[in-house]
Amino acid sequence: MNLIRHFLAGYTENFLLALVLWPMASFALTLPILAYLYHRDGRLRLGSTVSTYLAVLYLLGVACFTLYPLPSGDSGLGITYGVPWQLNPLAFVGDFRREGVSVLPQIAFNVVFFIPLGFIAGRLLRWGFWRSLLAGLLVSFCVEAAQGTGLFGIYPYAYRTADVDDLIYNTTGAVLGWLAAAALGRVLPPGALAEDGEVTHEPGFVRRCVAFWLDTLLTTLISLVVAGIIVLVLHNVPGGERWVDEPWALWAECLAFFLVELAWPARHDGSTPGGAFVRMSCETKPRTGGQRAAFYVARLVVLGGAYLFFPLAWPLLVLFYLFVRMMPYDLI
């Protein structure tokens, strides 16, 4: 027990760093996973939501435990000298001869540390055995490569040991995690997946937010490409230089927003590109003629306000949805 306590004591700061980064990184890392789950399952279960947030914490923990603390100062490990790679897969034999059972906590930690990754791959992502094994191998390889290259060249020397044995231990842990997920699946099978073409006309607030996030990414991408092409053309046509300073990026973004949030869903039964990916339609009830047109105009105004006044608009929309259980434009 003292061996384990002594071993874990050195990682306290790493775990605290993961907890500090969690709220900031969860927004960026969780949304893609939620989008994938909506696309695959057609719904979002409470267990999946909790598992997603825990998975984000776990991934942050992997990064913090394996890469932190970083080198600092003007000299020392990683600054003026490095640690050689350990490429002998039988090096653990010599470790046992020199240090005895005191090496066991390190080996056990490297195995146990990757069990959640295999479990996430098998249970949350529902990957097969070989895909999960490959995921564990690749994640572990990235970690070892980062350690052995000074965080991919950011530091002139390696500040931690890139160990081939760790690669074996980590991959073994991922395999054990996948086997645990498979065993749990026999006792408590995961829910059914979405059927082809399944779309809901009663999306919840979280699904709406995920769809809007995807649409925002697409809008930004389109506007950057269009504005870039316009500026490039203006730089290469006679007299075009005087038009380069116009706010092309803003106009392109407005056009892209109009296309993504109005023109596209109006022609695709209420599904924006992001909405189609998470299997939802914004049309919560049948509307025709002027009522449908008014609905889309109101929706464009509300989402445009949410897009332009993000810090203020979203809390108001959340409160409105909590009390009314629908968005303002759904009232039309």
Contacts of 224 (CB under 8 A, 6+ apart): 249, 252
Residue 33's pLDDT is what?
Answer: 79
State the amino acid at position 199 in one-letter form: V
Task: Give the residue from 231, 230, 218, 226 showing the smallest Cα distance to 261.
Answer: 218
User: Considering only 142-156, 243-257, 316-330, which range has the smallest mean pLDDT?
Assistant: 243-257
Residue 191 CB neighbour total at 10 angstroms: 11
Q: Is the pLDDT of residue 239 over 90?
A: no
- Of the pLDDT bands very low, low, confident and very high (cuts 50, 70, 90), residue 272 is very high
Cis upstream peptide for 286 (omega within 30°):
no
Contact call for residues 162 and 74 (beta carbons, < 8 A):
no
Q: Is the pLDDT of residue 123 over 60?
A: yes
Q: Is the pLDDT of residue 146 over 70?
A: yes
Distance of alpha carbon 310 from the chain centroid:
21
Q: Is the pLDDT of residue 211 over 70?
A: yes
Length of the chain (residues):
332
Which one has a higher pLDDT value, 258 or 17?
258
Which residue shows structure tokens 């231990």?
Answer: 169
Q: Give me the chain's average pLDDT, please.
A: 83
Residue 40's pLDDT is what?
Answer: 81
Which one has a higher pLDDT value, 313 or 262?
262
Which one has a higher pLDDT value, 198 or 266?
266
Torsion region of 237: left, alpha or beta (phi above 0 gives left; psi -120 to 50 gives alpha) = beta
Q: What is the pLDDT of residues 75-91, one digit of tens each?
A: 888 888 888 888 888 87
The burial class, CB within 10 Å (0-12 / 13-18 / 19+), for 195 is exposed
- Of the pLDDT bands very low, low, confident and very high (cuts 50, 70, 90), residue 7 is very low
Task: Give the residue from 119, 127, 117 showing the smallest Cα distance to 36.
Answer: 127
The burial class, CB within 10 Å (0-12 / 13-18 / 19+), for 25 is middle
Residue 17's pLDDT is what?
Answer: 61
